[in-house]
Chains A and B, each alone.
Chain A
Amino acid sequence: MKSNRRNFLLMAVCAVSLSACGSGGDSSSNSGETVKPATVDGAIEKPSLKLGFIKLTDMAPLAIAKEKGFFAEEGLNVTLEPQANWKVLLDGVIGGQLDGAHMLAGQPLAATIGYGTKADLIAPLSLDLNGNAITLSNKVWAQIEPGLKKNADGKPQHPISASVLKPVIAGYKAQGKQFKMGMVFPVSTHNYELRYWLAAGGVEPGYYTPGDVAGTVGAEAALSVTPPPQMPATMEAGTIDGYCVGEPWNQAAVQKKIGVPVITDDEIWKKNPEKVLGLRKDFAEKYPATTAAMLRAIIKAQQWLDIDGGKNRAEAVKILARSNYVGADEAVIGASMTGQFTFESGDTRAAPDFNIFFNDYAGYPFYSDAIWYLTQMRRWGQIAEDQTDQWYFDTAKAVYRPDLYLAAAKKLADGGAIPADSIPETDGFKSEQSGFIDGLTYDGKTPNAYLAKFPIGLKKGQRVTASGVN
């Protein structure tokens, strides 16, 4: 702990140099200084915008901002366009066909550090918390279900640990087969959540070597990429034995009777950050007023989704069920959006926090959230070399832009559109967080110390080669 405190002092000293870290807006140090809103004045420069999204319920803030007229109120004319997969969406934003998009939190971070495609992207707003789950195929479920601890009512005790998969994986191995699971993108929340869950249960999810995006070095469970809407079909075809994906694709598996969700991401990490709004950095610089207007509309939509204990959720489900948004059946979308979540068919449990769009400061892009994703990239080898704590802070501040969020939110609060206490007074770091399935705690101010806590994951100085970790 002493070294941590010394690091901390160092950081305070570095604060001066940090202010030139190129985040464009106000960059406070880590010495507890509150993030200041950026100054945004002037008329909207680009009123007609095209935003991309993937067919998932957590794109709701965008659909609601359009359908409930929040974009129009801010003087924007927005087209929402569904994309085939996360890669197409990312390329669309980088290439300028899309002005912005509903993105995985890891995408702007990875693009900025040059993992995959190199481009300067920013995340001025977080779209939601939670919203994913892990589903296993019927075959695997049948093998693990008898061994699960049961509650008094005969239903499985939650959270279910990944350690129950160990005998299943051993059985696969004995037959010379590999146990395979799907996630949606190499830098997706789902990849890190699935790996976290597997590793917490003692299952090796595999490592990434530099220049390889398969991430299956030393894997006991091999993970592969499948676009969210194709997950059920891919599992049904037997290509994967389970997957981690956002809604409605877990409830769809229940409804189609092809699989059983075993754990929601809220049970892996309480109130974890999920999607962000991703923009090109030059877009936000060139069109500051447009960016602010877009953020205001989305913040209003987020509030609309969560207000009064979610009284608008039923209407939101109806909107999302339209074929040009998520397009799945209303019943499937509603299964998770209205405070409940079905595991096995007949095992529906209350899940009031299954997805949070506005409460708990869900919209504020915390630096600590960005740093958590970066630590996981390092943990699994996507970041090949050790990095200093300072590097984590600088990267987070280059990508996550609470100053832009605050500029928009403060204006809304001043106008009375959102309550003033819905905007946090913070230096961008959440205090130490617990609520992880493996009982570890996370403090965004000490990323390297956090990485050292993991029994499974790269240690300081370790690198991955094709032959394994060394």
Chain B
Amino acid sequence: MATVIVDKIHSQSGSESTAEKPGDGADLSVKPVKANPLTAKSWPIDPKKIANWLKSLAAPIIGILAFLALWAVLAPQVDTSLGSLPGPVEVSAQGLALFDEWSAAQDREAEFYAAQDASNAAAAANGEATRDFQYSGPPTFLDQIWTSLATVALGFFLATIIAVPLGLICGLSKTFNAAINPIVQIMKPVSPLAWLPIVTMVISATMTDPDPSLPKSFVISAIVVMLCSLWSTLINTAIGAASIDKDLLNVGKVLRLGWFAKLTRLVLPSALPYIFTGMRLSLGVGWMVLIAAEMLAQNPGLGKFVWDEFQNGSSQSLARIMFAVIVIGLIGFLLDRIMMLLQNFASRNRTV
């Protein structure tokens, strides 16, 4: 255990990763991976349980209401050059307006395709060339959400398939770990915004196809997400693979398991909870990074929506930006929950 990565295990009481938690500070539900069997809950209709459940819900609801009340009272007192800061009412109104815009855009798109189909039918009847245009209207808020989710999914997927094998090798080979450790430590704290120009240049140089199947901007954003969310998974995987029980390894030696069998039968199962913890942190980082990258590079997505609205500088811009911020937060929260479920599932009934 002479390496930095693995040494960190001993300095950490829990085996929560060495990577920073996404800085929300309020989420205390990151479970230590160790011995965390989440017993399968069955939900019989038990009035006592429901009462308990309501009781546990009361505090968050009070907290949210208090926050909304404070916001509603304080916001009008801040006077910006775009008018006073919007309160919860204005923001929700803009949320509805965005939804209306989306449905109007849906209608326009349907009209466009209907008109195109009609003109194509007419053209085909006359033996003329038909057209197959994609609807070219502006992206709506929901389109931007979708783009952002797709980007973060791709970036996260790339990060995972790179980080997990690397992490396993790091955990199993001290030499390899020592070799890449300094690089990992240096790369880990780099901001996405610093990667962006480099990635942009490299991708622009490598993707020379005038009509690529994936838009350049999409690839650039995804790779920036990958570069920033790689490290948590890598480090956690390394720790997981390194902290495998010596007895298990000895059993493996007795049974004369091959290298591959050792990996799949012993190392992976015991490292799995760690890997999932790392992935959960990675996803949180990836989502945060993505919005910043989209803002700077003007790549389609929620970040661009926020920036465009800021540039519009109309009287509704601030409310729209705030609505977008809330949506970004909610999506981040949902992604985190999904990963937590997976993590719990992976570490169920295991004692590591």
Residue positions of A touching B, CB distance < 8 A:
47-48, 55, 75, 77-80, 82-84, 88, 95-97, 227, 229-230, 232-233, 236, 252, 256, 258, 321, 323-324, 326-329
Contact = CB atoms under 8 A, between A and B. Distances in A.
B216 A95 contact: yes
Contact of B133 (A48, A88, A229, A326): A48
B136 A77 contact: yes
Interface pairs A-B: 6 shortest CB-CB: A327-B312, A324-B138, A229-B311, A77-B133, A256-B81, A79-B136
Interface of B: 81-82, 131, 133-134, 136, 138, 204, 210, 215-217, 296-298, 307-315, 317, 320
B217 A96 contact: no
B312 A55 contact: yes
A95 B298 CA distance: 15
Contacts of B136: 48, 77-79
Q: Which of A75, A80, A84 has the most CB of B within 10 A?
A: A84
Contacts of A77: 131, 133-134, 136
A84 B311 CA distance: 8
A48 B334 CA distance: 37
Contacts of A79: 136
B134 A48 contact: yes
Nearest to A286: B210
Contacts of A75: 131
For the residues of A in contact with B, the DSSP-based class is loop
A252 B215 CA distance: 35
Most buried by B among A78, A236, A256: A256
Contacts of B297: 88
B336 to A, nearest CB: 29
A327 B309 contact: yes
Most buried by A among B136, B217, B297, B298: B136
B133 A232 contact: no
A328 B315 CA distance: 8
Nearest to B313: A328
B81 A327 contact: no
5 contacts: A84-B298, A96-B210, A97-B217, A229-B313, A321-B314
Nearest to A229: B311
Contacts of A328: 312-314
B131 A229 contact: no
Contacts of A326: 312
B217 A229 contact: no
Nearest to A95: B204
Nearest to B105: A324
Contacts of B310: 229
A233 B81 contact: yes
A277 B89 CA distance: 42
Given A78-B136, A88-B298, A236-B81, A97 B312 contact: no
B314 A327 contact: yes
Contacts of B296: 84
Contacts of A232: 81, 313
A329 B133 CA distance: 32
